Amino acid sequence: MPGGEAMRIWANKPETKRDGNGAGWLTPDKVLAAVSAGRVKQEAVDEGVRRILRVVFTAGLFDHVHAGGGDVDTSEQRQVARMAADESIVLLMNTGVLPLSAQTTRKIAVIGPSAAVARTGGGGISLVRPKYAITALDGIREAAGPQAAVSYALGAAMEGEDAANAPQALREQAVALARKSDVAVVVVGYSPQREGEGFDRKSMDLPAGQDELIEAMAGANRNTIVVIAAGAPVTMARWIGRVPAVMYAWYGGQEAGHAIGDVLFGAVNPAGKLPVTFPKALQDSPAYGHYPGENLHVEYAESIYVGYRGFDKYDVEPLFAFGHGLSYTTFDYSQIELSVGKIAVGMALSVSVSVRNNGLRAGAEVVQLYLQPPPSRVRRPVKELKGFSRVMLQPGEAKTVSFTLDKDAMSFYDSAVHDWVAEPGRFRVLVGASSRDIRA
């Protein structure tokens, strides 16, 4: 069909008229107005619609009416959802309090505004409302078993309430509960109204009252474990040195609560790694001071030094490094072995390292390969991630993890010649458990 007609048909589909579609920029009325005003070319819109329609036609959705009614909540699907939530959790810190023992942990206080509410996802398109959702409180109760007494207190006002002036009684109730418990699990984080797609948080701080709650719990029970349900780093400076364990649960979907219980009680050995750097403060971010700019104009003054590249370049110590994540076992790395010491264009080399599980529990390690380039005529990162591999190891087991490096791995895009370039020189190969935990 003609492109303009395709665009009009697609723009009038009911599902594209929802508020927030494309963060409000791609609603039909705004797109059509932009085309009419000449701000957006008709050809650009038509090409975008063609790509969508091409998939629709290829999938046969216009040939066969989909009546629905298929299985969307099977036991197998629940198992996959739980496994995904289990494997995504990152254990940020643990001085020995975790994993909890279901045999000896008898009194458990579960506290916090995100404890009895299922935080399945952030706001916007990332928010999914499943048929069911397990809260952290329910997941902990199930993991603790019938012999344990699991009690709950809100501790701080829910978002949307007067959190800054929440009744002191909420915190006092939580403190009293924590004092008479073997362990206190504080579950904090954000609601979909405060964190989601299409808008930014105003700061890295937890919502009002939650830092104070964690501080109070740390003072009431030395076995205070902090569980954070959020999608991005948060400031932890006020309490990070006063608690023995911190766990990042992200937004774990419908099985998030079960996953939290699984990891807390050791049914699952955590193996998640941070996909971003957690700064100690927002001011430590390489983008600080440049974003959001003025009048929708942002100067990307940090250049290529984003994320861990910026922390490396300016020698800033992160709170938790890119790639960081703890386990209930320990892993030893052996010396790196290279298949050759010198390569030319068209050649590649193999990098191998042996990783051994030296603990008493089976566990998975995510082995990360970084490459440190030689001095260059352009700006280069101190090191760059070039590969990673997840390896599952039984107690005492060792496996060899291998990577391949070629010209592409050693190249950078040269804007002067509009092509990828690999300069000659000596590269350094680094393998580790995070960007700041290089083992070989």
pTM score: 0.85
Q: Which whole number is the average pLDDT over 376-395?
A: 96
Is domain 75-264 given the CATH code 3.40.50.1700 in the classification? yes
pLDDT of residue 55 exceeding 50, the answer is yes
Residue 158: DSSP 8-state:
P
For the chain, report the end-to-end CA distance as a whole number of angstroms. 59
Give the model's pLDDT for residue 176.
96
Q: Which amino acid is residue 69, in one-letter code?
A: G
Closest CA to 354 of 341, 367, 370: 367
| Cα distance between residue 254 and residue 240, in whole Å | 28
Q: 97 near 223, Cβ under 8 Å?
A: yes
CATH of domain 282-438: 2.60.40.10
> Is residue 281 very low, low, confident or very high in pLDDT (cuts 50, 70, 90)?
very high
pLDDT of residue 8 exceeding 60, the answer is no
- Sequence-separated (6 or more) residues with CB below 8 Å from residue 155: 111, 112, 113, 170, 171, 173, 174, 186, 213, 216, 217
> Is residue 293 very low, low, confident or very high in pLDDT (cuts 50, 70, 90)?
confident
* Residue 355: strand pairing partners: 333, 399
CA–chain centroid gap for 166, Å, is 30
Q: 252 near 131, Cβ under 8 Å?
A: no
- pLDDT tens-digit map of 93-124: 999 999 999 999 999 999 999 999 999 988 88
Here the tokens at position 16 are 């594209």
Q: Which whole number is the average pLDDT over 330-339?
A: 96
Token pair 């995504």: residue: 88
Closest CA to 277 of 325, 228, 226, 327: 325
Give the model's pLDDT for residue 5.
46
Closest CA to 185 of 231, 133, 142, 244: 244
pLDDT > 70 in the chain, percent: 91
Give the model's pLDDT for residue 67.
61
Closest CA to 246 of 225, 267, 266: 225
- Sequence-separated (6 or more) residues with CB below 8 Å from residue 5: none
- pLDDT tens-digit map of 142-193: 999 999 999 999 999 876 555 555 578 889 999 999 999 999 999 999 988 8
Give the model's pLDDT for residue 18.
40
Here the tokens at position 418 are 């509009």
Greater pLDDT, 278 or 5: 278
pLDDT > 90 in the chain, percent: 75
SS3 (DSSP) at 13: coil
Residue 422: DSSP 8-state:
-
Q: Which whole number is the average pLDDT over 270-275?
A: 98
Q: 401 near 389, Cβ under 8 Å?
A: yes
Give the model's pLDDT for residue 355.
98
- Sequence-separated (6 or more) residues with CB below 8 Å from residue 187: 110, 111, 112, 113, 114, 115, 136, 137, 227, 229, 260
Give the model's pLDDT for residue 19.
43
- pLDDT tens-digit map of 213-272: 999 999 999 999 999 999 999 999 999 999 999 999 999 999 999 999 999 999 999 999
The residue ranges of every structural domain in the chain are: 3-58, 75-264, 282-438
| Cα distance between residue 89 and residue 28, in whole Å | 39
| Cα distance between residue 71 and residue 103, in whole Å | 38
Closest CA to 250 of 236, 234, 229: 229
Q: Which amino acid is residue 233, in one-letter code?
A: P
Query: CB count, 10 Å around CB of 406?
Result: 14
